[in-house]
Amino acid sequence: MARRAVKASKGADRRVQRTHRMLSEALIELVLERGWDSVSVQDVCERADVGRSTFYTHFADKEDLLVGGLHALGRFLRAQSAGNDRPLAFARGLIEHVDEQRRLAKAMVGKRSGQVMQLRFRQLLIDLVREDLEALTPSSPRLDATVHYVAGALFELLIWWLEARTQLEAADLEEHFNELTTPLLTLLKKAKSRGG
C-alpha cells in the first residue's frame, strides 16, 4: 500500500512539474509575442491547454507564475557561487543562464517585458549583490547606494546585451562586468580595513 502511495506521489509531482513547465513556456511565448501587459491568465491557460482552475490551484496570477521561476534562478545562482570568495561571483552563472535562455531572458527583461517583471528581476539582482557586498563592508547608507548602483549596472548591461544583437560572448561580458566593478570592490575593501 505504501509503495502505491509513493508511486502516486511521484506521478503527481511529475504532472505538477509538467503543468508548471507548460504554463511557464506559454507565458514566455505570449510575452514575446504581445508584451507582458497584453497577456492575461486566460491567454496563458489557452496556450498551455490548461484549465483556469488548474492554473489557480498552482498560482495566484501570472506574476506568481513568474516569481516561482525567479526564486528558482536565485537558488541556482547562490548554489553556483557558494564557496567562492570572489564578490559578485554569481554574475558568471547569471550571464551564462541568460545566454542559454535568451528567449526567457528577453521575455523577463527585454523590450516586451512589463515593468512588474523588470522590477522583480531587478530585486533579485539587488538581493544577490547585497548578500555579496555585506561581506565586504558593514551595513550603511553607502552600502545600500552601492548595492543599487551595482545591481542597476548589471541589469542594464544584461538588457543591452540581449537587445543590441552584439557579438560579445558571455565570457567577454562577464570579464567586462568584472573590470567595471573591480575598482568599486577595491574601494569597499579599503573602507572596511579603515573601519569606515
pLDDT of residue 122: 94
pTM: predicted TM-score of the whole model, two decimal places: 0.79
- Are 126 and 138 a contacting pair, CB within 8 Å? no
pLDDT-derived band at 165 (thresholds 50, 70, 90) equals confident
Alpha helices in the chain (DSSP H): 2-34, 41-48, 52-58, 62-81, 90-100, 102-109, 115-133, 141-163, 170-193
Give the CA distances from residue 105 to residues 94, 102, 187, in Å, rounded to whole numbers and listed in that order: 10, 5, 32
CB atoms within 10 A of CB 178: 16
Identify the pLDDT of residue 3: 45
Report the CATH fold assignment for 1-59.
Arc Repressor Mutant, subunit A (1.10.10)
Task: Judge whether 168 and 161 are in contact, CB under 8 Å.
Answer: yes
- Residues 116-136: what's their mean pLDDT? 91
142 vs 192: CA distance, rounded Å: 12
Give, rounded to a whole angstrom, the gap between the first and last alpha carbons of the chain. 64
* Integer Cα distance of 196 and 192 in angstroms: 6
pLDDT value at residue 11: 54
Using one digit for the tens of pLDDT, what is the confidence trace for 7-62?
444 556 888 889 988 998 898 888 888 888 899 999 999 999 999 999 999 999 98
> What integer is the mean pLDDT of 74-88?
87
d(CA 150, CA 152): 5
CA R_g for the chain: 20
pLDDT at 12: 63
Mean pLDDT of all residues belonging to the chain: 85
Query: Which of 119, 91, 112, 102 is CA-nearest to residue 166?
Result: 102
CA distance 178 to 89: 9
Residue 179 has pLDDT above 90, yes or no: yes
Return the domain boundaries, the chain.
1-59, 62-196
The pLDDT, as a whole number, for residue 7 is 43
Tell me what pLDDT residue 8 has.
44
For residue 82, give the DSSP letter.
Answer: T
C-alpha cell, 5:
502511495
